[in-house]
Amino acid sequence: MRKHRQEALFRAWMKPIPDNFVRARPLLAIAYAGVLVSLGEFSGIEERLRDAEHRLGVVENPNAALAHIELYRTALAQVAGDLPAAEHHAGRVLELAPSDDDLARAGAAGFLGIVSWSNGALDQAAAFWRECRSGLWHQGHVADVQGASIALADILTAQGRLGEAVRVCEEALALGMDGGRAIARGVADTHTSLCMLHLERGDLAAARVHLERSLDLGDAFGLPQHPYRSRVAEARLCIAEGRLAEALDPLREAERHYVSDFFPDVRPVSAMTARLQLRLGRLAEAEAWLRSAGVTAQDTPGYLREFEHITLARMLLTSGDAEQALGLLERLGEAAGSGGRMTSVIEIKVLTALASRQRGDMPKALAALDEAIDLSAPEQQSRLFREEGVPLHEMMKLVQKHKADPFLLTLLAHGAEGPARMTPQADHELIEPLSPRELDVLRLLRSDLSGPELALQLSVSLNTLRTHTKNIFDKLGVNSRRAAVRRADEMNLFRH
């Protein structure tokens, strides 16, 4: 049952058995405690483990049994957020477990991987998760291999090692399939991970295929995180395809279904939603998130809250406080760089470029963008550049003047696929200002006149009007008449 992650069925089998019968049998009691822990039911577990520990005198190999007790104590400490205690109990597992008990030793390695992951020691975390994955593979725990693989892939993604992450997931997927048919729980989760990895590389078609397969397999072939992770992937695909408003519902559903399954919550759904609210111009909702999250620009940077602090930097840019944003980004960049978290480093450099541009320091902006491109090119990490919008796209054109880079050419070929994330405060912040004629058109866009009526008012053809309107949309980073008027009003363009 454990091998195939059938904990719920095992618990159902146990219900008719009186609890005092279970507690009197230490090996069964330990196994049942492990089932409850896997199901996220932690109440009374320590008491069960103590009862079993007191009865180990009747067990043939008490140290092996005690190793599993310590393994579940590791889980309890992890859930309580007591990382030193989790590390201590995991170390005890490795001391007690026989050398051939791959399951206990793999479990301990996985928990040590979680401790290192939570502390931002990603190289060490990846090493522990590889050890965990290997032990599970050797024991034939195919479902748990999927779980270990998605953990390892998440860590490798944070390090910017996308190719290795894809290989890890594809190996796990091959193990969990037979003749094109899923045979193990967790396969749906592995498809979800591959969806998000392909999104990072800008391959939306491949991402969509893996998401559809994940959703088709459903929760029956998913681990506890599947309802949450699949909805996050769905939202991220919506964003990548420019369907921003459609991403809100799956994010809300993801937050409702969130379970950690012991993984550190390094990309909280609430912060993802706040970023989306910023892009949709819903600043009040994003500010409400900030108040509840409690992060400030004066905090000491740390990995567990890095994603939230980068979200805060985006909010500062949106509000026009480039100075404070740059100070925060500099400290975040130092912490992420020293921790080898290259995906964060790339985003921080992109935001540094946008913040420097907002301050009018174009040399610094282009230098930061140049570095971000260099860091992203080896793994073709294109999502961020493609989604960031017109201001970044225009800066990439300026970088191209002195940089003949194939990756940059690929980015430019895709165009600016997302709306500008930052809301400029004045017209001088436009990389390319509006022409006098475009300003005339912009003023009339505020009216209720139809397209033909606007063309007549301006004494131009309808095609000419459409050309002017498209140029205005491109320069303002919007894709509708109403959004253009709102953006122009924010930038005080109507004062001319």
> Which domains does the chain possess?
1-140 (1.25.40), 158-264 (1.25.40), 269-414 (1.25.40.10), 429-495 (1.10.10.10)
User: What's the pLDDT score for residue 89?
Assistant: 97
Distance CA 228, CA 259 (A): 7
User: What's the pLDDT score for residue 214?
Assistant: 97
For residue 449, the SS3 value is: coil
User: What's the pLDDT score for residue 50?
Assistant: 96
Amino acid at 138: H
CA-CA-CA-CA torsion sign (220, 207, 419, 470): negative
Element (H, E) at 182: strand 181-182
Residue 226 structure tokens: 């599947």
User: What's the pLDDT score for residue 431?
Assistant: 61
Distance CA 295, CA 125 (A): 26
User: What's the pLDDT score for residue 450?
Assistant: 81
User: What's the pLDDT score for residue 429?
Assistant: 55
Per the CB < 8 A criterion, the answer to whether 253 and 218 are in contact is no
Distance CA 441, CA 216 (A): 48
DSSP assigned state of 179? T
Instruction: Tell me phi and psi for residue 171, to 5 degrees.
Output: -65, -45
Residue 124 structure tokens: 């060490």
Distance CA 122, CA 455 (A): 59
User: What's the pLDDT score for residue 495?
Assistant: 59
How would you write 151-172 as a 3-class SS string?
HHHHHHHHCCCHHHHHHHHHHH
Per the CB < 8 A criterion, the answer to whether 162 and 170 are in contact is no
Distance CA 206, CA 216 (A): 15
Distance between alpha carbon 130 and the CA centroid of its chain, in Å?
Answer: 21
Distance CA 332, CA 162 (A): 22
Distance CA 437, CA 450 (A): 18
Residue 443 structure tokens: 């003023």
Query: Digits of tens for pLDDT over the chain (496 positions)?
Result: 888 888 889 999 999 999 999 999 999 999 999 999 988 899 999 999 999 999 998 889 999 999 999 999 999 999 999 999 999 999 999 999 999 999 999 999 999 999 999 999 999 999 999 999 999 999 999 999 999 999 999 999 999 999 999 999 999 999 999 988 999 999 999 999 999 999 999 999 999 999 999 999 999 999 999 999 999 999 999 999 989 999 999 999 999 999 888 899 999 999 999 999 999 988 899 999 999 999 999 999 999 999 999 999 999 999 889 999 999 999 999 999 999 999 999 999 999 999 999 999 999 999 999 999 999 999 999 999 999 888 899 999 999 998 888 999 999 987 655 444 433 333 445 667 888 888 888 888 888 788 888 888 888 888 888 888 888 887 887 777 877 887 787 777 875 5
User: What's the pLDDT score for residue 430?
Assistant: 65
For residue 382, the SS3 value is: coil
**Residue whose entry in the numeric block shows the structure tokens 């969130």:** 258
First to last CA, the chain: 73
Q: In this structure, what is the dihedral angle of CA atoms 331, 332, 337, 338, given to the nearest 10 degrees?
A: 70
Of 124, 182, 117, the C-alpha closest to 150 is 117
